[in-house]
Amino acid sequence: MSDDPLPIRSVEFLGGMAEPGGWRPPMALPEVAFLGRSNVGKSSLLNRLVRHRAVARVSRTPGRTREINFFRLNDAIVLVDLPGYGYARVSKERHATWRPLIEGYLGNTPTLRGAVQLLDIRRDPTPDDRDMLAFLAALETPTLIAVTKIDKLGRGAATDRIHALADTLAIEESQLIPFSAVTGEGRDDLASAVAGLIAAAAAPPALPPLSDPAPR
């Protein structure tokens, strides 16, 4: 497709970071990180975005992606699949480890150009989601919000949920990118926004600071 906002020429899995300050890819390419609750659909969204069925591991077992996984796209961009947070049934030990791993990565990556926060269309943002958004705002990392699994709701219900999410986060609806890894809806919008993050490195954040993590 010639008008693809993010044409895919090559995708490679580079490796994973298992603990804060651990291994990371040696190259200094612009990076975009994808984060969200366990099971929200990060790995599925990444696969759709790069048009590869299984470059990022998708699983039925929430909490499966435990490491930070790095993928190189077109020899030009590094996409980063962060471990899912906030799954109630993970052991206390692992529950305590996601935050330093994710926050350590976000806070110590000078090549980080932006982040994509995922929210499930059927759920309200959790305190962990709000903490993550506030953390990204404090770092002044340009942040996009992708609303996942929109195929799970009918049109009307999906539209209502988009209104509600924009309202509860006190942002414009245009800042939410509706997405389905099943139908592919939203792929090009997301691709275009991600390409924009890379291109607009020096531009102001895509979202106004979400400094108040308290629900309205």
Ligand X SMILES: Nc1nc2c(ncn2[C@@H]2O[C@H](COP(=O)(O)OP(=O)(O)OP(=O)(O)O)[C@@H](O)[C@H]2O)c(=O)[nH]1
Burial class (CB in 10 A: 0-12, 13-18, 19+), 103: middle
Q: Among 47, 65, 141, 180, which residue sits at the site for Mg ion (rule: CB under 5 A)?
A: 65
User: How many residues interact with ligand X (rule CB under 6 A)?
Assistant: 23
Q: How is residue 122 written in tokens? A: 């059927």
Amino acid letter, 169: L
Count Cβ atoms below 10 Å from residue 58 Cβ, excluding itself. Answer: 16
Task: Mark 23-52 with x for binding to ligand X (rule: CB under 6 A) and - for no binding.
Answer: -------------x-xxxxxxx--------
Residues 57/39, Cβ–Cβ less than 8 Å: no
CA atoms within 13 A on the CB side of 64: 13
Q: Is 201 in the site for ligand X (CB under 6 A)?
A: no
Enumerate residues 27-46 that contact Mg ion by CB under 5 A.
Answer: 42-43
Distance CA 203, CA 17 (A): 29
Comparing CB distances to Mg ion, the nearer of 19 and 75 is 19
Q: Is 182 in the site for ligand X (CB under 6 A)?
A: yes
Residues 195/187, Cβ–Cβ less than 8 Å: no
Distance CA 202, CA 99 (A): 27
Comparing CB distances to ligand X, the nearer of 156 and 204 is 156
Comparing CB distances to Mg ion, the nearer of 42 and 113 is 42
Q: Among 51, 64, 122, 123, which residue sits at the site for ligand X (rule: CB under 6 A)?
A: 64
Q: Among 24, 180, 191, 197, which residue sits at the site for ligand X (rule: CB under 6 A)?
A: 180
Residues of this chain that interact with Mg ion (CB under 5 A) are 42-43, 65
Residues of this chain that interact with ligand X (CB under 6 A) are 36, 38-44, 58-60, 62-65, 84, 148-149, 151-152, 180-182
